[in-house]
Amino acid sequence: MQSVVVVGAGQAGASLVAKLRNLGYDGKITLIGAEPVPPYQRPPLSKAYLLGEMALERLFLRPESFYADQKVTLRLGAPVRSIDRIAQTVMLDDETLPYDALVLTTGSHPRRLPDVIGGALPGVHVVRDLADVDAMGPEFVPGRWVVIVGGGYIGLEAAAVAAKKGLDVTVLEMAPRILQRVAAPETSDAIRALHLEHGVSIREGVGLARIEGANRVEGVTLSDGTSLAADFVIAGIGIAPATELAEAAGLMLENGIMTDAQGRTSDPHIWAAGDCASFPWRGARLRLESVQNAIDQAELVAENLLGAGRDYAPVPWFWSDQYDLKLQIAGLNTGYDHVVVRKADATSHWYFAGEKLLAVDALNDPRAFMVGKRLLEAGRSPDPALLSDPGTDLKTLLRA
C-alpha cells in the first residue's frame, strides 16, 4: 500500500493519519479538508469559543507543523468533487489524486429549517462548524431575543451559552419533553429545571410554524398560533451523515456509509469512520455521533488498513456541558424499561432492560460515570437496590 488518501479533515481524519504514522506506516498520506483551517475540536465551538473563552488556535487538534513533520500532505479548502473507483482516484477542483486506500471521514451536516417557512432568512443559524459559529457570534448581544428550535443537546447547549451572555432565550421542542429521543424523563426533568433557573423559557409539545421577517428574522409563529419576537433563530434539530460523495460513487448506504465491522465499505479499497459511517453492532446497524467514536473508529480503521483485522465493538460514551453541569453518558439506553435513580453526593440515572444494565447518565458525578462505563465494558449489571442506596460505595460494585 503506497498511498492513503483521507477525505474529511475533522476529528476522525486527523486521528486516523496520526495513528497510521504512529503504527509505522511510511507510505504517502494525504488529508483533504473542505474547510480552510487545520483539523479542530468541535465541542468547544458552541461553548468556550462562542463565549470568547477559547482562542481560535486552541481549537486546533494539533499545530499545522505536525502534519508537515509527519509527512502528511494537508490539503485545506479543497472539497473533493468525485471519486473514480475504477481508476482509484479522487478529483479536486485542480488536481486528481491516486490512492491505494481511500478513507471517508466526511462527518455530517446540520439539518436546516425549510426555506418555505423562512429557513433561508438572514438571522437563521445552525451550529456545526467554525464558519457557522463565527457567523452567529455577533448576534449574541445582551438583551436580544433568540429562539432556539430543538430541545436536544445541540439546542440546549446553545441556550446555555445565550443565557450566560444575557440574552432572552426561548427553546422550542416539538416532542412532549426535551431530550425525549435520548434521555429518560428523570434526566429531562433535571436539565429542564437547570435551564429554568437560568431564565430560559422552554416550550414543549409545540413546533415552529414559520419564521417572520421581510429581510431578516423579526419573530416566529408557533404551531399553536403563538407569536414570539426574535432577533435571530438557531436551528438545533440534529445532523445527517455526509454521504454525498459515497452515494455518487455507488457505495452502499444505510443510515450513513455502510461498513463492515472493520470499517471497510462495499468497495474493498474504501473505508469509512466517524459520523458518516454505520457499522454492525449487536445484530443491528449503528451510527454514532460523538468525538470518542470518531477517534476510536478512525484509529481502528488505521490498524485494519495495516492488516490488524480487528472488529469494532465500542461502549459508546458522550458528554454535554451546560452552565456548571457536566452530563456524562456511558452506553446506549435503547430498549430500557426502567431507570434506577441514585442520589448521593450527586445524581445519576441508570438504565436497565430487565436485569441488564444498558447505560448511565451521570450529572456532575464522574465516579458514577466511571463505574458505569467499566461495568458496561465488562458486561456486568449491578444490583439495583445497591445502586439506589446512597450509602453504597460505587467502587465496590466493580468487585462484586
Angstrom distance (rounded) from CA 80 to CA 9: 12
Residue 90 confidence (pLDDT) = 98
CATH, domain 324-398, list 3.40.50.2000, 3.40.50.2300, 3.30.390.30, 3.40.50.1100: 3.30.390.30
Rounded average pLDDT over 10-39? 97
What are the structural domain ranges in the chain? 3-109+239-305, 112-235, 324-398
CA angle, 335 as apex, 331 and 336 as ends, to 5°? Answer: 75
Measuring CA to CA, which residue among 151, 112, 132, 119 is closest to residue 217? 119
Q: Residue 18 in contact with residue 256, Cβ under 8 Å?
A: no
Confidence band for 287, pLDDT divided at 50, 70 and 90: very high
**Cα separation, 261 vs 285, whole angstroms:** 10
pLDDT tens per residue across span 248-280:
999 999 999 999 999 999 999 999 999 999 999
What's the pLDDT band for 345 if we cut at 50, 70, 90? confident
The CA angle 132-138-140, to the nearest 5 degrees, is: 100
Share of the chain above pLDDT 90, in %: 94
Q: Which amino acid makes up residue 138?
A: P
Phi, psi angle pair for 161, to nearest 5°: -65, -45
CATH code of 112-235, in short, is 3.50.50.60
Domain 3-109+239-305 CATH assignment equals 1.10.3720.10: no
Given pLDDT bands bounded at 50, 70 and 90, which one contains residue 80? very high
User: Would you say the CATH fold of 324-398 matches that of 112-235?
Assistant: no
Is 400 a residue whose pLDDT tops 70? no
Cell 446506549: give the residue.
Answer: 332
Concatenated DSSP letters of 331-363: E--TT--EEEEEESSSEEEEEEETTEEEEEEEE
- H helix count then E strand count, the chain: 10, 26
| Structure confidence by residue, pLDDT tens digits, 150-192 | 999 999 999 999 999 999 999 999 999 999 999 999 999 999 9
State the maximum Cα–Cα separation within the chain, in Å, rounded to a whole number. Answer: 65
Q: What is the pLDDT of residue 203?
A: 98
- How large a percentage of the chain has pLDDT more than 70? 100
